[in-house]
A and B are shown apart, each in its own frame.
Chain A
Amino acid sequence: MKILVPCKRVPDADQKIEVHPDGSAIISAHLPFLLNPFDAIAVEEAVRIREQRDGETEILAVTIGEEVCQDELRTALAMGADRALLVVCLQPPDPWNVARILRAVTQREQPDLVLMGKQAVDDDSNQVGQFLAALLDWPQATFASRLNFVDNGLRVARETDAGLETVTVSLPAVVTTDLRLNEPRYASLTSILKARKQSIDQFCLADLAVELEPRLEIRHLETTASARSCQWVTSAAELVDRLRRETH
């Protein structure tokens, strides 16, 4: 079994995001970055699958971006990924191009399963897994909260607006992770140190024969602010009174 886990570098969600005055980009100079939390869940699940299968599983973490994105690959290695691959891409690709690059990696590496986050918490698009499955003509199971191997495939519980849905998919497949799937482990100090020394393969887009085809152009960014100011009430009685007046 070979599992490909795409990993994205995103700003730490606990930080306040500011935008350049010209609206061109967020101010990232002093922001801490980390592995997208949904991708960490995907790495964790891959490691658990390998543990269940007595080790005969290879986990390949892949990211797309600049050299600094190696940090997130090292996080994945420290958590237990076997190999890591950086696809160097200097402009941040949109979801369509991320999916096209991942398709090229998938065709080269031939995994049985692509396990990835349902969304990246920076752009919140929730598109890449579905695009990739469509491009590969593979089945997909999005928003997974439980995975079980069954004959010739996977049984997946999916978090939907209506409730928990169960599907089976044949392999190879694309599965995207939801929060309830697992709680990612903290890497031990030894594995962090070991991951620092591991080598990371690098490709450029030309190696993968991918030329970017931009689809989603971001023209401008602005921060949003709450215009509300809180009026304090001191008792349940007063709150009920205010609600009545406001809604009459």
Chain B
Amino acid sequence: MKCLVVAEHDGATVRAGSLAALGFAADVAAQTGGSTTWLILGHELNDVSQHAARYAAVLAGDHPLLAAPTADRYAAVIDDQTRRGEFDLVVAAASTFAKDVVGRAGGLLGGAMASDVVAHRWENDRLVMQRPMYAGAVLATVVLSGSPQIVTVRPTAYAAPQPRTEPAEIATVGIDAETLPQHIEWLELETRPTHRPDVSEAQIVVSGGRAIRDRDDFERLIGGLADALGGATGSSRALVDAGITPNEFQVGQTGKIVAPELYCAVGISGAVQHLAGMKNSKMIVAINQDADAPIFEVADYGLVGDVYQVVPELIQRLKDEPDRHHPPPES
């Protein structure tokens, strides 16, 4: 299959999730004698194109009108490039960006779309895929009819391919400002600055739940433990609702899906919606005062106790011996 991978980027590098999506596409291409090509959209794409070209050929759509990811414009370009290049498969990492933009492109391209794919095989000339349903309680085996096929994959289920020895070709695609739809006007993005890694890309995630009473306690306990471990902070929905954490911290069925090396659930009960977002982590540690909390059913290590007592002690002990189990963060 001829695969087009829609990249998500920060202007400098392609996101780790998109590299994982390329890993999926590269495997499909290898099994079917196909190819992989990036589609990168935005403005001033030199740096990110060069980064991407270390992995696959690049089509770069560079235009001031594409500076922000507005769904109507981006989807129009993805649709156009998919048709022109006669791609069979359009791939992206399952993120809010892809759900919005690639989902719309899927509607322009005939609707043969599978979201959140976690496994695949090539069988009798069909791409057979698996995706979770019912908050991850069920795994569905699905096939798509129609072409092109549009697939978003969970980055937690795929690995980035090896970089190439020589960088691949970078081509620019023409953007016709006249025909680009402009019904959506992008105004601003409000983020909370943080010195910690992104929760979807971190190797270690410490998440807090309703046990945490306010923002200061979150920073002191969850932030403190995350720093002592060199990880990112996340939270359950309960803390987002309480205004203690921003929405982008939410791990779960309707938030971010993570699968780090280590996930620490601190004062989280383990509702199905939360488990859906973290139960595939390599190692799970749960701290909760209720020994019957469902979070312990998915945990490798459980500690029954009051987080207000246990966590400060954990932080202290981890700090006492800085030569710990994790390497220093890459700079």
Contact = CB atoms under 8 A, between A and B. Distances in A.
A199 B314 CA distance: 61
Contact of A168 (B185, B296, B298): B185
Contacts of B140: 218, 220-221
Nearest to B8: A161
Interface of A: 11, 13-14, 16-17, 19, 26, 38, 95-96, 99-100, 118-119, 121-127, 129-135, 137-143, 145, 155, 159-170, 173, 178-180, 213-224, 226, 228, 230-237, 239-240, 242-244, 246-248
Nearest to A234: B303
A162 B318 contact: no
Contacts of B138: 17, 19, 26, 221-224
Nearest to B296: A230
Contacts of B136: 224
Given A141-B184, A222-B141, A224-B137, 14 more contacts: A132-B107, A134-B108, A139-B72, A139-B183, A142-B96, A162-B96, A162-B189, A179-B241, A215-B113, A215-B144, A221-B140, A228-B298, A239-B314, A247-B261
B301 A17 contact: no
Contact of A163 (B106, B183, B185, B246): B246
Nearest to A125: B115
Given A239-B303, A247-B326, A160 B113 contact: no
Interface in B93-142: 95-97, 99-100, 103-108, 110-116, 128, 132-142
A40 B141 CA distance: 29
B225 to A, nearest CB: 11
Given A95-B113, A161-B248, A169-B183, A218 B317 contact: no
Interface string B171-215: 000000000010111111111100000001000000000000000
Interface residues of B, number: 85
Given A161-B248, A239-B285, A215 B188 contact: no
Nearest to A233: B303
B184 A140 contact: yes
Interface string B279-292: 10001111000000
A125 B135 CA distance: 11
B103 A244 contact: no
A23 B297 CA distance: 25
Contacts of A180: 240-241, 247
B262 interface: yes
Contact of B133 (A123, A139, A215, A231): A123
CB-CB nearest 6 A-B residue pairs: A134-B107, A96-B111, A130-B103, A247-B325, A163-B191, A139-B183
14 contacts: A26-B134, A26-B138, A95-B113, A100-B111, A122-B134, A124-B115, A124-B253, A134-B108, A139-B183, A163-B246, A165-B188, A228-B298, A237-B313, A239-B285
Contacts of B137: 16-17, 223-224
Interface of B: 70-72, 75, 95-97, 99-100, 103-108, 110-116, 128, 132-146, 181, 183-192, 200, 237, 240-241, 246-248, 253-254, 256, 261-262, 272-273, 279, 283-286, 296-304, 310, 313-314, 317-318, 324-326
B134 A143 contact: no
A124 B247 contact: no
B301 A230 contact: yes
Nearest to A169: B184
A229 B251 CA distance: 22
Nearest to B71: A140
Contacts of B296: 230
A161 B256 contact: yes
A224 B136 CA distance: 7
B188 A244 contact: no
